[in-house]
């Protein structure tokens, strides 16, 4: 196990900023590449190759690394996930606008099956995702990440972070030493809390 694996994400970000540690940066990029690809697979951008979409997700991840503020109380995992989604939504909106087919409603990021429940069923594409409002979007991401972390229990946050990292229900159950049903119940509670947050 390398030193970066033993570190928290927040510790690795400190190394990147204070010591210009490129290895720590590369470690975080590799660690979150799975979620970037997962989010990218759920999107279609007119005229874009899959690698182009992944590149947009990577831009969102890099923005998260650069702008994350650990003193605000939110975890990097939650914040990074939001930044990746916002970047992808922006790319979709710009692409559709260029083709005179604006995205008016929402982009669904997760498909539902036995091991993959939609944590965010729909995310409204509004002015927060306009290019001129990117700074505002970053601030909103931070605030939303903080709210999510406050609303969820410690166990729910751990389950959410594992899920966002691409782990299946079975893998989460094994990691936490819990039955499959406990993980499923936790995800259902998380979904409800996230919907409540969206409605606030």
Query: Per the domain annotation, does 139 fall within a domain?
Result: yes
Query: Per the domain annotation, does 35 fall within a domain?
Result: yes
Query: Per the domain annotation, does 193 fall within a domain?
Result: no
Query: Per the domain annotation, does 172 fall within a domain?
Result: no
Residue 127 has pLDDT above 60, yes or no: no
Whole-number CA gyration radius for the chain: 17
Read off the pLDDT band of 100 (50, 70, 90): very low
Least confident of 39-48, 54-63, 129-138: 129-138
Tell me how far apart the alpha carbons of residues 130 and 90 are, in angstroms, rounded to a whole number: 7
Contacts of 189 (CB under 8 A, 6+ apart): 156
pLDDT 10s digits, 138-172: 555 556 666 777 788 989 888 887 776 667 888 89
pLDDT at 112: 38
Residue 118 has pLDDT above 60, yes or no: no
CA distances from 65 to 7, 85, 176, 190, 194 (A): 15, 14, 27, 25, 23
pLDDT at 142: 59
pLDDT at 16: 92
Read off the pLDDT band of 197 (50, 70, 90): low
Read off the pLDDT band of 200 (50, 70, 90): low
Query: Per the domain annotation, does 197 fall within a domain?
Result: no
Query: Per the domain annotation, does 184 fall within a domain?
Result: no
Q: Which domain holds residue 61?
A: 3-150
Among residues 192, 198, 113, the alpha carbon closest in space to that of 160 is found at 192
Residue 85 has pLDDT above 90, yes or no: no
DSSP-based helix, strand, coil % in the chain, nearest 5: 70, 5, 25
Query: Per the domain annotation, does 174 fall within a domain?
Result: no
Task: Report the CATH number that the domain containing residue 72 is assigned in CATH.
Answer: 1.10.1740.10
Query: Per the domain annotation, does 124 fall within a domain?
Result: yes
Residue 102 has pLDDT above 90, yes or no: no
Read off the pLDDT band of 75 (50, 70, 90): confident
Q: What are the structure tokens assigned to 171, written together?
A: 């893998």
Share of the chain above pLDDT 90, in %: 19
Determine the average pLDDT of the residues in 67-81.
85
Residue 105 has pLDDT above 50, yes or no: no
Count of structural domains within the chain: 1
pLDDT at 108: 32
């Amino acid at each position: 196990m390398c030193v970066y694996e033993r570190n928290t994400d927040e510790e690795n970000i400190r190394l990147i900023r204070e010591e210009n540690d490129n290895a720590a940066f590369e470690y975080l990029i590799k660690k979150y590449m799975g979620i970037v690809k997962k989010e990218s697979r759920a999107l279609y951008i007119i005229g874009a190759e899959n690698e182009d979409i992944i590149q947009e997700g990577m831009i969102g991840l890099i923005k998260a690394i650069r702008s994350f503020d650990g003193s605000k109380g939110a975890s990097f995992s939650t914040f990074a996930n939001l930044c990746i989604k916002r970047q992808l939504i922006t790319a979709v909106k710009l692409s559709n606008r260029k083709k005179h087919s604006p995205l008016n409603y929402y982009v669904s990021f997760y498909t539902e099956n036995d091991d993959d429940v939609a944590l965010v069923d729909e995310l409204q594409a509004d002015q927060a995702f306009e290019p001129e409002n990117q700074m505002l979007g970053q601030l909103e991401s931070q605030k939303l990440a903080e709210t999510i972390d406050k609303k969820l229990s410690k166990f729910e946050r751990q389950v959410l972070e594992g899920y966002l990292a691409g782990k299946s229900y079975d893998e989460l159950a094994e990691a936490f030493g819990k039955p499959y049903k406990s993980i499923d119940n936790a995800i259902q509670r998380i979904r409800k809390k996230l919907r409540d947050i969206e409605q606030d």
